[in-house]
Amino acid sequence: MRHVLRGVIFDLDGVLVTTDGFHYRAWKELADELGLAFDEKVNQRLRGVSRQESLRNIYDHNRKPLPTDDVFRGYCDRKNRRYVELVGGMSPVDVLPGALRLLGALRAAGIRTGVASASKNTPLVLERTALRPHIDVVADGNDTTRSKPDPQVFQIALQRLDLKPEECLGVEDATAGIEAIHAAGMKAVGIGGQAVGAERVFGSVLGISVRDLMIVFEEETRKG
């Protein structure tokens, strides 16, 4: 039986846009103010996970007990205000190289596209970067109750595409995201060194053609 690729669902931060550096900066500034240790290595554990889970990870790394709920919420809000400020300076030049070309080529090939992001700021980022018209459906942190590695955000994107997981590929830069793609029943394409467990890993979307995705999909689907 021939397996035909009908949809590709992309993570946003670190896959289509450069926002991962802004998340890092906003967390780093907060951690410095609170006297909490935080560096690029700890930051890798925050990729793809929700804002609250990220702060829990930072406290966990510092072996410090969590503050009260109100204080915790206040810290999350403070990080988010700084992040939103940084995103406010974004423009279409912050779309990662190759992303627009790949989205356009998929559409031209009749393959539907989606975004599945943990971020509640997805609508803002898509608006600042003018990416929204290039993507068929969006599911994000405003739609979900569970964070990656739970498959929920990918399942919502699949529903909105009206496609089955066996017809689609997911593209992710974070290990939690690769796990979420697999838990949703899809094969995973990884971006960069943190995409552990993906069926195939590319350096960035710049290196990916529609044909590459079709080949990965057909080969991996045949394997079962």
Binding site for Mg ion (CB under 5 A): 11, 13-14, 173-174
Tell me the DSSP string of 163-178.
Answer: --GGGEEEEESSHHHH
SS (HEC) of 51-75: HHHHHHHHHHHCCCCCCCHHHHHHH
Question: What is d(CA 14, CA 12) in angstroms, rounded to the nearest whole number?
Answer: 6
**Integer Cα distance of 167 and 56 in angstroms:** 36
In angstroms, give the least distance from the CB of 122 to ligand BG6. 7
Which option in Mg ion, ligand BG6, none does residue 173 bind, with CB closer than 5 to 8 A by kind?
A: Mg ion
Structure tokens, 48: 């793809």
Binding mask 79-98 for ligand BG6 (x = CB under 6 A): -x------------------
48 part of the interface to ligand BG6, by CB under 6 A: yes
Q: Which is nearer to Mg ion, 24 or 221 (CB)?
A: 24
Q: What are phi and psi of 216, to 5 degrees?
A: -55, -50
* 200 counts as binding ligand BG6 under rule CB under 6 A: no
Site string for ligand BG6, 125-164 (x = CB under 6 A): ----------------x-----------------------
- Chain centre to alpha carbon of residue 148: 9
Catalytic site includes residue 11: yes
Under a CB-based contact definition with an 8 Å cutoff, are residues 172 and 198 in contact?
Answer: yes
13 is catalytic: yes
Give least dist CB 194 to Mg ion, A. 9
For binding to ligand BG6 (CB under 6 A), which residues are involved?
12-13, 23, 46-51, 54, 80, 117-121, 141
Known catalytic residues are 11, 13
